[in-house]
Amino acid sequence: MQAFDSHTGTAVPLMMANIDTDQIMPKQFLTRIERSGFGQFLFHDWRYNADGSPIEDFVLNQPRYAEASILIAGENFGCGSSREHAPWGILDHGFRAVIAPSFADIFYNNSLKNGLLPVVLDGADVLRLAALVEGDPATRITVDLGACTVKAGDDFERPFKIDDFRRHCLMNGLDDIGLTLQYEADIAAFEASRSQRASA
């Protein structure tokens, strides 16, 4: 997976609580077997009319947020089913981080395992950050995983917490497979010795 160290970009505010994974990635798109290409389906039922035309007032369809790479959301983001397709879609759309007051546990862990950084900030700070972006969509936000801080504008800087192990994995681009492959030589040596014992 792609490593995450520090990312600077603009943001899009989607300030609703309890956004569930079926809204993030509707169930009709779960039949795809590859991880790529899900960005076009992100928030599909909120982004498009029944005839496929875009719903103009939905934030992801507004030109001023077209280049956003950070999503700001309400509390309990990613609740609902455990579908890994939700972080896949968010990443494929171009987002590197999601900032919210809280996340559903399974979504939070799935995000970290796929290279998407979920950042928990105090609710008042999330609202302030969203207000900065709504006032000026060109506001640059820096999410620094090394320093565990979020910075925006001239006077917004807040720390956030993340498990040290997950932070290490994300900064080094290590998913579960990558972690296992770090021990590839040891695994190969064990398999060779086991094969020798079996044939003796």
Q: Where are the domains of the chain?
A: 6-199
d(CA 158, CA 121) in angstroms, rounded, equals 8
The 10s digit of each residue's pLDDT in 105-159 is 999 999 999 999 999 999 999 999 999 999 999 999 999 999 999 999 889 999 9
Given a contact cutoff of 8 angstroms between Cβ atoms, the answer to whether 162 and 148 are in contact is yes
Helix, strand, or coil here: 92? Answer: helix
* Rounded Cα gap, residues 152 and 100, in angstroms: 15
How many H helices and E strands in the chain? 8, 8
Question: Is the pTM value of this prediction over 0.85?
Answer: yes
Read off the amino acid at residue 129.
L
- N-term to C-term CA, the chain: 41
User: Taking all residues of the chain, what is their mean pLDDT, rounded to a whole number?
Assistant: 90
Could you tell me the fold of the domain covering 6-199? Aconitase; domain 4 (3.20.19)
